[in-house]
Structures are given as C-alpha cells and as structure tokens.
Amino acid sequence: MIDPSTVEEAISRAKAARSQAELTDLRVKYLGRKGIITGALRRIGTLPPEDRASRGAAANAARAEVEAAIDRAERLLRDRQLSHEAKNAKIDLTAPGAKVEYGHAHPVAALVDELVRVFWQMGYEVAEGPEIETEWYNFDALNIPKDHPARDMQDTFYLEEGNLPRTHTSGVQIRYMEEHQPPVRIIVPGKVFRNEDEDARHGWMFQQIEGLVVDEGVTMADLKGTLEAMMHGVLGAGVETRLRPSYFPYTEPSVEMDARCIICNGIGCSTCSGTGWVEVGGAGMVHPQVLRNVKIDPHKYSGFAFGFGPERIAIIKYGVPDVRGFWRPNLKFLEQF
Ligand code: DAH
C-alpha cells in the first residue's frame, strides 16, 4: 500500500529540485527497479485476491502522478537553463559564416547526361541491360562465334557458367530488339569491363554509350549525320572528327570515329600515341545476320549502331591527358570540373 503522504512528498521534492541530478535521484528512489513505488506495485501480487484490483489501480495512479511530476520538473529545468543560456549568449554578428561546400556531378557522369540529352532531343529512348551478361548476348548473337578471332578484340574477364562482366554495351542491342519491333531508336549508357592494362586511354572499367537505329531505309548517311550531331552537341561545332574504315562482326560496313587530339592540337603526344587523333568510338550498319538473330527481316529493315566512349570524349572536352584521373578518388582533380 502506498501512503498518500509518500506521493505528496515525492511531488513536492520534484518541484523543489534544482538540478537534473536531484531529479534523477528521485526517479531512482521512487520509480527505479528497487524504488518505493515499484516495490509497492510488486507486493500487490501477495495481497488477498479481492484487494488486488483496487490496490493495484491506486498504486498505478500513484506511480503515474509521481512520474508526471518528475517529467514536468525536468522540462521546467531544461526550459530555465535554455533561457538562461540564451540571455547570456554572446553573438558576434560580424563573424564570417561557415562555408558550405557544394558537390557536383562527376565530369564523366555529367558528360553521359549531356549525351543522353542530345539523343533525347533527336527522339531516342534510353535502354539498359545487365552488367553481368551471358556469352550469347555479349558475343554469339552479335555474330562473334566462339573461336572467332574477333573475341580477342576485347579482353574478357570470364565468370562461372559462361557469364561475364559485359565487355561492351552492344549486347543490349540484341536484348532490346528481342522485345521491340522496328522502328527502333535507342541509346544505352552503361559501364563495361575489360581485362586490360591501364594507360592514358584505357582502364579495366569504363563507360560506353551504345546507339541503335533500325527502320526502313536507314543508310550510312544517317549514321554519319547522327555521329556528327552527337559530337557537335557535346563538344561544339568546332570539333574536328574523321571516320576511318574498321571491322566489327556485328556491322558491315564498319567505321571508327576519331576526334582531333586537343592535348597536342593534333601534333602528336602521349595521350594520342603520337597520331594527333583520339579514337572515340566504333559504328557501322547493322549486320544482316544480327537482324536475323532477332527475327527482323534484313530485306525490309536496315539499321546503324555505334558504341562510343564517354571517357574518350571527356579527354577532348576537358583537355585531360589521362583517363585514369577520372577514376581516382582525388578531389583536387575532380573539383576542377
Ligand atoms: N562494341 C564496340 C566496342 O566496344 C563498339 C561498337 C562498334 C559498337 C560498332 C557498335 C558498333 O554498336 O556498331 O569497341
């Protein structure tokens, strides 16, 4: 049984307390595990059954009252302390504020966004595919059979069960055409992986942006105009580019595009291996066999495809002589952009 005077005493002591420590002591003394009120509550179970309900309710009410009193006292104490501090605080209105550092997009990510915007304006859709790919999508369906020397064009990390981290985004062409009939007009930004030694132009992981257009009457002239629109869109109309004949098993004819090396102004330097040009991507007219692999009739439809390297374009755009800078966690370098 809790004596009403016990409750009154607890409440008046809470009101009189002048520090948090005093209030904590009170809480322990009355409400703690071995506290006066807790003890009384525990003893309810030993009372005759007919008394338990009323005594229990009374003890619970007492506990609630004491608890509320201590809570209230704590709040008052805190308020008083805060207003005391506020009154006595000295504010130097002339002190300079703390500088807020703003982050920004990674330069290569920003360039990929720009590329996507250029194509979005031309009515392209963005498609995506998995970074872990099957040999079928990465190679076979693109007309690169096993044991074909073209497999060596891209050094591949192989995983178990015929899977691999994709070496290019070209496999998404197949994935997309399996699901969609022409007209097809997509770009595919994404990461790719190659078992390659790093140098100024190469890394073992980098970005690609793949493009695919399939429709009736698509020609090489459409491809050339599109690639030029892309380069002008992100590098300005002044950029100097050239197309070279090349070979990819999934295009015929195939080309590669180079941009004038901005690091040496075309004179020849280590970034462009002395050639005055930086290769920025491959492209071509979609090979009829690739269309047949996805059950599109090559007599009715034709298409072009391309795969460009945003890091290579970034070399030209930002005048950075070495792609590795983009992949090191060096804020001094990245903050320049
Ligand atoms: N997949 C090629 C590479 O990674 C680039 C490429 C070339 C993509 C020609 C294409 C293409 O779509 O038509 O080097």
DSSP characters over 78-92 = HHHHHHHHHHH----
Q: What is the pLDDT of residues 251-301, one digit of tens each?
A: 999 999 999 998 899 999 998 999 999 999 999 999 999 999 999 999 999
Q: How confident is the model at residue 153, as a pLDDT?
A: 76
Pocket of ligand 1 (CB under 6 A): 168, 170, 210, 248, 251, 282-284, 305-307
- CATH number of the domain at 107-326, out of 3.10.450.50, 3.40.720.10, 3.40.630.30, 3.30.930.10? 3.30.930.10
Q: Determine the Cα–Cα distance for residues 241 and 228; give it in Å rounded to an integer.
A: 8
Distances in Å between the Cα of 22 and the Cα atoms of 10, 59, 73 are 12, 23, 11
Question: What's the gap in Å between 285 CA and the centre of ligand 1?
Answer: 11
Q: How confident is the model at residue 91, as a pLDDT?
A: 86
Question: Residues 6 or more apart from 55 whose CB is under 8 A from it?
Answer: 1, 44, 47
Of the candidates 220, 226, 252, the residue with the CA atom closest to the CA atom of residue 241: 226
Residue that the structure tokens 């030993």 belong to:
46
Average pLDDT over residues 127-152: 92
Q: How confident is the model at residue 161, as a pLDDT?
A: 85
210 neighbors 173 (Cβ within 8 angstroms): yes
Of the candidates 2, 10, 5, the residue with the CA atom closest to the CA atom of residue 26: 10
H runs (alpha helix) in the chain: 4-16, 20-31, 36-43, 49-88, 107-121, 135-138, 171-179, 220-235, 288-293, 310-318, 331-334
> Given the CA of residue 211, which atom of ligand 1 is nearest to it?
12
272 neighbors 278 (Cβ within 8 angstroms): yes
Distance of CA 277 to the CA centre of its chain: 32
Nearest CA to ligand 1 atom 7: 282
Nearest CA to ligand 1 atom 4: 168
Question: What's the gap in Å between 145 CA and the centre of ligand 1?
Answer: 16
Q: Determine the Cα–Cα distance for residues 209 and 280; give it in Å rounded to an integer.
A: 11
> Given the CA of residue 286, which atom of ligand 1 is nearest to it?
13
232 neighbors 241 (Cβ within 8 angstroms): no
**Reported pTM:** 0.72
In the structure encoding, which two tokens stand for residue 179, read together? 């699901």
Question: What's the gap in Å between 65 CA and the centre of ligand 1?
Answer: 77
Has residue 160 got a pLDDT over 90? no
Best of 119, 143, 168 to mutate for ligand 1, by most ligand atoms within 8 A of CB? 168
CA angle 139, 227, 132 (to 5 degrees): 30
Q: How confident is the model at residue 101, as a pLDDT?
A: 86
Question: What's the gap in Å between 71 CA and the centre of ligand 1?
Answer: 70
Q: How confident is the model at residue 107, as a pLDDT?
A: 95
Has residue 59 got a pLDDT over 90? no
Q: What is the pLDDT of residues 71-104, one digit of tens each?
A: 999 999 999 999 999 889 888 889 999 999 888 9
Question: What's the gap in Å between 306 CA and the centre of ligand 1?
Answer: 5
